[in-house]
Amino acid sequence: MAIFLNDVSRTFGEYLLIPGLTTRLCVPSNISLRTPLVKYKVGEMPDIRLNIPFVSAIMQSVSGPELAIELARYGGISFIYGSQPIDSQVEMVRRVKKFKAGFVVSDSNLTPEHRLTDVLALIGRTGHSTIGVTDDGTPNGKLLGLVTSRDFRAEKDDHSMKVKYFMTPFEKLYVGKTGISLSEANQIIWEHKLNILPIIDADRNLAYFVFRKDYDGHRENPYELSGEDKTLRVGAGINTRDYEKRIPALLDAGVDVLCIDSSDGYSEWQRDTLRWIREQYGDTLRVGAGNVVDREGFEYLVDAGADFVKVGIGGGSICITREQKGIGRGQATALIDVAQARNEYLRKTGLYIPLCSDGGLVHDYHMVLALAMGADFLMMGRYFARFDESPSKKLRIGNNYVKEYWGEGSNRAQNWQRYDLGGMAESLKFEEGVDSYVPYAGKMKDNLDITLGKIKATLCSCGAVTLDELQRNAKITLVSSTSIVEGGAHDVILKEQT
């Protein structure tokens, strides 16, 4: 007969936080959201700490290089998806590691022989009004000039006119040389009242652009997550099949941390992968594992060598594992159980194993509940898929803009390796994820500022100024179904929003 657990499988929506004493210190400007990413000994510092407790999901529709760059600039980290050929994943990691804050690689380039119609098409496709004119039309070709919106009049000029006749030629440009610091580049921009400064190498090849409009953004971004070499931190997802080839290639590209991507991490396949990593690289390579939903899964992966453990099966908005297989656990219950196991492991060994809560976050306040219940950081897919920086397409459906969002367990992802079924993998014929849309939300920064503001305000109400204080002092209560209704607007007629 099966083993029956007495606890109810609960979600974050069934809990509320009880206010704590809000002291004079509990103001948003004093709140620190720093949190460990990888395991460490008590009394020591972890090798990698996040400045905000957010990581992006290991998904094709979420974690590309653009989102990885933006999230690292604001203090989190992305795990570039592994459901792709090794070479393309490696190139994505390289793009993140080559990024220099303020130094932008041009993604809008033409040759002098292109025409105004090509300029207009490129602007329509990318939304960028600054175009580098190079000898071969590539981002790193020899710089011959620039085209901006001030160089042509789309409504009056002949659309067949070649770029070389209306571009600003190289001879009239102010440029910087590679090796210049961002502060030096910004000084040139301010002295000469420029909107853009091209950066070229010794052979006059275009390397970067520095934009005037980014100046304030750099000053307002003190939480950038970078390593000792000043490059942005970036992670990558791996599977339990080709890791012997994939991992060395990712390390060569400069990856900072890895995570085994699977819907069910309590498996011998993950144990074997972790053991191979420890045999080859010792403790120098940081790798997370999962997903699990109970203490047995947690202890199994930690004993195998995991640096952090992901918690959650079936709670993601696009995940249908519970429907298809009847496997999973309510995210709140799973997290509470695993966090208790983590704390016992800490008392026994002196090692702290960070937990990543993956899935089940419907509202922003759920994030604080997850952190209070023991999560050190949150992995999110739907949240990040809505932004400009995610790799999926933006579409208009009816009167609304949406972005495509699909699960790694869907047919579209074609990624059966993550299910750890050994020789059965080739015969897996059903899906564990759906293909869907999410409402388009604009730029990451605008949304992230609001979310982080809510989290900090909630910590203040709980009487905590750090995540550690939140976990130690937060009070949480179960709510009834009628209490949930009471918590929203009720018994009023809402005005229509204009």
319: annotated active-site residue = yes
Q: How far apart are CA 217 and CA 234, in angstroms?
A: 21
> Which is the catalytic residue, given 319, 356, 460, 462?
319
Q: How far apart are CA 401 and CA 331, in angstroms?
A: 30
Q: How far apart are CA 93 and CA 82, in angstroms?
A: 11
Span between the terminal Cα atoms of the chain, in Å? 59
Grouping H, G, I as helix, E, B as strand and the rest as coil, residue 26 is coil
Which residue in the block uniquely carries the two structure tokens 């496997």? 327
Tell me the residue type at 470: L
Supply 131's token pair: 């175009």
Task: State how far the alpha carbon of 354 is from the alpha carbons of 35, 385, 485, in Å.
Answer: 9, 25, 34
Please check whether residue 208 is in contact with residue 183, taking contact to mean a CB–CB distance below 8 angstroms.
Answer: no
Please check whether residue 294 is in contact with residue 275, taking contact to mean a CB–CB distance below 8 angstroms.
Answer: no
Task: Report long-range pairs for 486-492 (Cβ below 8 Å, ≥24 apart).
Answer: 487/16
Supply 6's token pair: 């007495």
> Which is the catalytic residue, given 26, 95, 418, 460?
418
462: annotated active-site residue = no
Write the CB contacts of 66 (distance below 8 Å, at least 6 apart in sequence): 389, 390, 391
Q: How far apart are CA 403 and CA 401, in angstroms?
A: 7
Supply 369's token pair: 């509940």
Grouping H, G, I as helix, E, B as strand and the rest as coil, residue 171 is helix
436 CB-side CA count, 13 A: 18
Q: Indicate the angle between helix axes 364-372 and 331-349, nearest 10 degrees.
A: 30
In 27-106, the DSSP E strands lie at 35-36, 40-41, 49-50, 54-56, 77-80
Angle (nearest 5°) at CA 82 between 59 and 63: 35
Supply 375's token pair: 């999560």
CA-wise closest residue to 200 among 186, 179, 182: 179
Q: How far apart are CA 205 and CA 140, in angstroms?
A: 6
Supply 179's token pair: 């090796």
Enzyme catalytic residues: 319, 418
